[in-house]
Amino acid sequence: MVRAGSQSPASSTTAAPENAPRRSSRCLPMVDELFLVYLSLGLKEKDLGDRFNIHQSAVSRIITTWVHFLYAFIGAVGIWMSADVIKATMPSVLGKYSDTQVIVDCTEIRCQTPSSVQSEMFPLYKSHSTWKGMVGVSPHGAITFVSSLYSGSISDKELFKRSGIIPLPDKDKAVMVDKGFRIDDLVPCKVYRPPFPAVAPQSAFRAGRCAIKGPRGKGN
């Protein structure tokens, strides 16, 4: 593998011109570089193992270690937005839904599981096993809540109940959800289910679905 900053055998015997730009020395540990390549390109573990000349199991351990660290570090950062911030960034197209504080939707991630636990991960309406999570976004599209992952067979209502989002919305605000969310008895605020989502809610729902699949939502 040709590494950044390395020289070919032919060029190493030839003196570089005095005015030639100097190549920066490598200052990033390989273990960090591997994870950044994985994060930015989404390469498979076998591909990364070939590129960095290490066993696939070593690649898996590195990725798992980094994911656990980032989950603990970034997960401790509060991303919930106050009602004042929501109001200041409220899109005008929401109209009568302008007191919405968060728009909630669920997303599912395919996974491989041993046969012993496959039934718990297997939604009845799909042909594969999944993890299921819930994402909340502000009306202008910033991700403000991400739940833990649960088995794919969990209902939207049960996931909402377990997620920890219930005490977060203000009582004088509203939560906007899809028609499948029957959560009126769980939250202390209003619940909106627009029959035909306007442009802003529809975009926010798409951002919510991308929150776990990839970093496409807006930052705070």
**Distance between CA atoms of 201 and 184, rounded to whole angstroms?**
19
pTM: 0.65
- Chain segment 87-138, per-residue pLDDT in tens: 999 998 888 899 999 999 999 988 766 665 555 555 555 566 889 999 999 9
Percent pLDDT > 70 in the chain is: 69
Tokens of 195: 């029959």
**Where do the domains of the chain lie?**
9-74, 83-213
Architecture of the domain whose range is 83-213: 2-Layer Sandwich (3.30)
**Distance between CA atoms of 121 and 106, rounded to whole angstroms?**
15
Beta-carbon contacts of 187 under 8 Å, excluding residues fewer than 6 positions away, are 166, 169, 175
Lookup result for tokens 């976004």: 137
